Amino acid sequence: MLFDVRISEDTLQSVISSCAVLQSVSLHNMSFSRLCISSPTLRSISVEGVFTFRELVIVDAPCLERLLPIYPNGGPATIRVIRAPRLEVLGFLSQGISRLHLGTTVFQRMIAVTMTTKMRTLKILVLECAPNLDFVVDFLNEGKDMNIAPKYDLLDPIECLELHLKEVVLKNYCGGHRLYMDFAKFFLLNAKVLRKMEIGARYSYKSNCNIDNWMCYLRRQLQVENRASKDASVEVKVNKFTRHVRTHDLSVDDPFD
């Protein structure tokens, strides 16, 4: 971990690329114009609380599995992934990242500009956003131009929803708000191989109904019985959104769990 360290970009790049056993790097509160990462061994890189960090470029990282801009509003403003063929975990992503390049796919403030690279290895994607289907489906859409609506067009299926999406986790879910409800229902009603949906809902203890009745109400509103995958379980919890990430524990599959 490097925290508030004063070091030149060239020196840090040389240290990372030259270390033959380095597997995980965390950068905290560091200022760079442009940092380029090349490493034959690096498996995880996280960026937290970074100021005046304009651009992070993953030039060549054949073993990289995790790319974790944990506080995207603090930088880097641009992230470019040129070669990371084993990338499995990506997040948090938000509109605080002005440009995101994944191979030849480009997002500007999380809106797809070009969609040409298929991220076949990606298993966990964490997005920090309001309940906006356009925003999320762009990441799942595998290169199509799309004007998505909450009603799924069965004549123009999305491969990820048809074949790949197995788990959806929603945090800070506002159950009484229609936008949140429609957002969750979209995935329940259209993800055909979904195994689990976990909803971390915000519950007001000043409410007139008890928590069990409130959770039953949420399940009814979600139309769980109409889910596209009959094997999918739906779990509603009361919890709060946190940024706790196990950045260096490479033994766990999901650092956000």
Write the DSSP symbol of residue 187.
H
Sequence-separated (6 or more) residues with CB below 8 Å from residue 123? 88, 89, 253
Region 45-63: mean pLDDT is: 88
Name the pairing type of β-strands 2-3 and 34-38. unpaired
Determine the pLDDT at residue 29. Answer: 84
pLDDT given for residue 150 in this prediction = 44
SS3 (DSSP) at 125: strand
Q: Report percent pLDDT > 90 for the chain.
A: 47
Structural contact between residues 142 and 115, judged by C-beta atoms closer than 8 angstroms: yes
Confidence of residue 149 (pLDDT cuts 50, 70, 90): very low
Confidence tier at 24 by pLDDT (50, 70, 90): very high
CA-based nearest residue to 221, from 257, 173, 255 = 173
